[in-house]
């Protein structure tokens, strides 16, 4: 499996994905000056911009790398030469997953350094009223990374059943968009006030989706990072547990489906 992880990383670097990201990372240089346009709360704005930029890059990576990696292997018929080696399909799939996850971690770490430097610069230039909680900032980045690693799992699961990259890419994007609002929708349909407005069918459909779709709201610690509020340790543990459980289920299902997949 480690060889598959290595190959995965090598493939991503050779395809100059990383170089592309580094080009995007140049944007961090402009964050302090862009934030200074807001006149007040320059540091808060810098943090917001940095976190959004990192999130956006990680989202792009998780969706496109996650959705195309298995698909490309099957499309270009690399699977014939690799799956026929004495490696189980699940090891192959896990190798791909951990390779992609590792790449997200590396990218996030590099971008985090750039972001922290940009924010530090903003802090020095425009000292904020409230001290920046660097710990909360790092935690926010960490959980954002976990969130997108989970999304890679979604993309891989979808690519084990799909013959094109269409379903994995758009499916993952939909899962991501839906994941932000499932909590609100769930709470809305279960409000006593909406009992009349929502049909029972819709209510149960929403409930099924609520449990099926990833709930990524807990991974968002941006508010804590921006306003310097300590995150709740219990909440973090629950989110971490959720991440581990949900990702394991995704990978387990993906392994089962991939094992049954015909290479032709």
Residue span binding other proteins (CB under 8 A) among the ranges 72-80, 135-143, 232-240, 244-252: 72-80
Mask 149-168, x = binds other proteins (CB under 8 A)?
Answer: --------------------
Residue (189 or 255) nearer to other proteins, CB: 255
Instruction: Compute the C-alpha angle 107/50/8, nearest 5°.
Output: 15
**Which of 109, 7, 105, 16 lies closest to 62 in space, CA to CA?**
105
Residue (86 or 233) nearer to other proteins, CB: 86
Query: Which listed residue (56, 77, 227, 237) binds other proteins by CB under 8 A?
Result: 77
Residue (40 or 76) nearer to other proteins, CB: 76
Residue 138 token pair? 């790092």
- 130 belongs to the binding site for other proteins (CB under 8 A): no
- 196 belongs to the binding site for other proteins (CB under 8 A): no
Place of tokens 């430097």: 117
Residue 86 token pair? 């004495």
* Distance between CA atoms of residues 64 and 85, nearest Å: 27
Query: Which listed residue (24, 52, 56, 78) binds other proteins by CB under 8 A?
Result: 78
Query: Which listed residue (30, 56, 80, 170) binds other proteins by CB under 8 A?
Result: 80
Mask 82-101, x = binds other proteins (CB under 8 A)?
Answer: xxxxxxx-------------
- 14 belongs to the binding site for other proteins (CB under 8 A): yes
**Which of 256, 110, 124, 210 lies closest to 102 in space, CA to CA?**
110
Query: Which listed residue (26, 37, 40, 76) binds other proteins by CB under 8 A?
Result: 76
- 15 belongs to the binding site for other proteins (CB under 8 A): yes
- 69 belongs to the binding site for other proteins (CB under 8 A): no
- 107 belongs to the binding site for other proteins (CB under 8 A): no
- 19 belongs to the binding site for other proteins (CB under 8 A): no
- Rounded to the nearest whole angstrom, what is the least distance from the CB of residue 163 to other proteins in the complex? 10
Site for other proteins in 32-51 (CB under 8 A): none
**Which of 64, 65, 59, 49 lies closest to 114 in space, CA to CA?**
49
Footprint of other proteins on this chain (CB under 8 A)?
Answer: 3, 6-7, 10-11, 14-15, 76-88, 260, 262-264
């Amino acid at each position: 499996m480690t060889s598959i992880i290595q190959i995965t990383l090598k493939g991503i670097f050779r395809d100059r994905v990383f170089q592309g990201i580094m080009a995007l990372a140049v944007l961090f240089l402009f964050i302090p000056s862009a934030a200074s346009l807001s006149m007040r709360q320059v540091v808060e704005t810098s943090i917001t911009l940095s976190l959004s930029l990192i999130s956006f890059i990680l989202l792009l990576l998780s969706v496109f790398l996650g959705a195309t990696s298995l698909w490309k292997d099957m499309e270009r018929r690399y699977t014939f030469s690799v799956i026929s080696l004495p490696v189980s399909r699940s090891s192959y799939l896990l190798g791909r997953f951990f390779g992609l996850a590792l790449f997200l971690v590396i990218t996030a770490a590099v971008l985090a350094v750039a972001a922290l430097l940009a924010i530090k610069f903003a802090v020095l230039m425009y000292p904020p009223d409230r001290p920046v909680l660097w710990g909360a900032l790092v935690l926010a980045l960490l959980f954002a990374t976990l969130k997108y690693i989970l999304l890679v799992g979604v993309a891989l699961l979808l690519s084990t059943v799909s013959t094109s990259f269409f379903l994995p890419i758009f499916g993952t994007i939909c899962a991501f968009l839906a994941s932000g609002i499932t909590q609100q929708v769930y709470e809305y349909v279960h409000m006593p006030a909406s009992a009349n407005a929502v049909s029972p069918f819709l209510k149960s459909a929403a409930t099924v989706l609520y449990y099926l779709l990833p709930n990524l709201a807990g991974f968002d610690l941006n508010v804590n990072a921006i306003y310097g509020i300590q995150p709740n340790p219990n909440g973090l543990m629950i989110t971490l547990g959720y991440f581990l459980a949900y990702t394991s289920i995704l990978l387990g299902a993906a392994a089962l489906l991939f094992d049954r997949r015909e290479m032709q």
